[in-house]
Amino acid sequence: MARAPSEPAVKPLRLTVRLTPRGGRDAVEGWIRDTDGAPCLKVRVAAPPVDGAANTALERLIASSLRIAAGAVQIVAGHQGRVKRLEITGVDEEAVAKAFGDPG
């Protein structure tokens, strides 16, 4: 029996976020530029930065905005800082631009 050719692995999309915990509400505020000039999504969450609550709120907000499962969004760097690197599976740059606007 012949084996079916495997599909190429889809790389997760990487997204840089600047998070403001205890921001009063959960909201995506648009794109800003970091010190290197790279696009960075500015996000605020009401949750405090205690026991990972703000990180969990961020993952859920991004997933909800993109209409994907919360498990498809993962923080891979910056767990303790304001600037975080996310990996998102199941979406492409077009879906991100549709949900959050064009990073310019």
Taking only the tens place, the pLDDT of each residue in 10-65 is 789 999 999 999 999 999 999 999 888 999 999 999 999 999 999 999 999 999 99
CA pseudo-torsion sign 65, 79, 16, 22: positive
What amino acid is encoded at 73 in this protein? Answer: V
Among the listed residues 104, 90, 92, 94, the one whose alpha carbon sits nearest the alpha carbon of residue 41: 104
Q: Kindly tell me if the per-residue pLDDT of 84 is higher than 90.
A: yes
Answer for the pair 86, 7: CB distance below 8 angstroms, yes or no.
no
pLDDT at residue 35 in the model: 86
Strand duo 39-44 + 13-20: pairing: parallel
Strand duo 13-20 + 27-33: pairing: unpaired
Q: Kindly tell me if the per-residue pLDDT of 103 is higher than 90.
A: no
